[in-house]
Amino acid sequence: MRIPFAKPNLDKIDLSGIKETLNSGILVHGKKTIMFEKKFSNLVKSNFALSTSSCTTSLYMAALSLNLKKRDEVLVSAQTHVATVHAIEAVGAKPVFVDSSEVDGNISLKDLEKKITKKTKAIFIVHYLGRPQPMKEILSFTKKYNLRLVEDCALALGAKYDGQSVGTFGDFGCFSFHPVKLMTTGEGGFITIKNKKDFITLKDIRSFGVRKNFYERKIPGYYDVENFGLNFRMGEINSSLGITQLNKLPYMLKKRETNYKLLKKKIIGNKNFRILKTESSKKFKSSYYCMNIILNNNLLKKRNQIIKKLNNSGVGTSIYYPLPVPHFSYYKKKYNVSIKNYSTALLLSNASISLPVGPHISKKGIEFIARIVNNLIT
Question: Residue 215: is its pLDDT beyond 80?
Answer: no
Measuring CA to CA, which residue among 244, 122, 124, 109 is closest to residue 174? 124
Contact by Cβ (8 Å): 105, 292: yes
How do residues 155-194 score in pLDDT, each as one tens digit?
Answer: 999 999 999 999 999 999 999 999 999 999 999 999 999 9
Residue 49: φ, ψ to 5°: -160, 155
How do residues 272-282 score in pLDDT, each as one tens digit?
Answer: 999 999 999 88
Residues 285 and 151 placed together within one structural domain of the fold = no
Report the pLDDT averaged over residues 20-40. Answer: 95
Question: Residue 354: is its pLDDT beyond 90?
Answer: yes
Asked if residue 311 is part of any domain, the answer here is: yes
Asked if residue 7 is part of any domain, the answer here is: no
How do residues 255-297 score in pLDDT, each as one tens digit?
Answer: 999 999 999 999 999 999 999 999 998 899 999 999 999 999 9
Residues 96 and 219 placed together within one structural domain of the fold = yes
User: What is the predicted pLDDT for the residue at 218?
Assistant: 83
User: What is the predicted pLDDT for the residue at 7?
Assistant: 97
User: What domain count does the chain have?
Assistant: 2
Distance CA 112, CA 120 (A): 11
CA dihedral over 137, 190, 89, 322, signed as positive or negative? positive
Rounded percentage of the chain residues whose pLDDT exceeds 70: 100
Question: Burial, 237: exposed, middle or buried (Cβ in 10 Å; 0-12, 13-18, 19+)?
Answer: buried
Give the structural domain span for 286.
Answer: 249-376
* pLDDT confidence band for 33 (50 / 70 / 90): very high
User: Among residues 245, 271, 305, which one ends one of the domains?
Assistant: 245
Alpha carbon separation from 346 to 78, 80, 321, 342 (Å, rounded): 9, 11, 9, 6
* pLDDT confidence band for 321 (50 / 70 / 90): very high
Contact by Cβ (8 Å): 242, 34: no
Packing angle of the helix pair 55-65, 82-90 (nearest 10 deg)? 40
SS3 at position 193: strand
Residues 139 and 85 placed together within one structural domain of the fold = yes
Asked if residue 255 is part of any domain, the answer here is: yes
273-275: strand order across its sheet = 273-275, 291-295, 352-355
Alpha carbon separation from 362 to 210, 249, 263, 314 (Å, rounded): 47, 17, 11, 14
Residue 151: φ, ψ to 5°: -105, 125
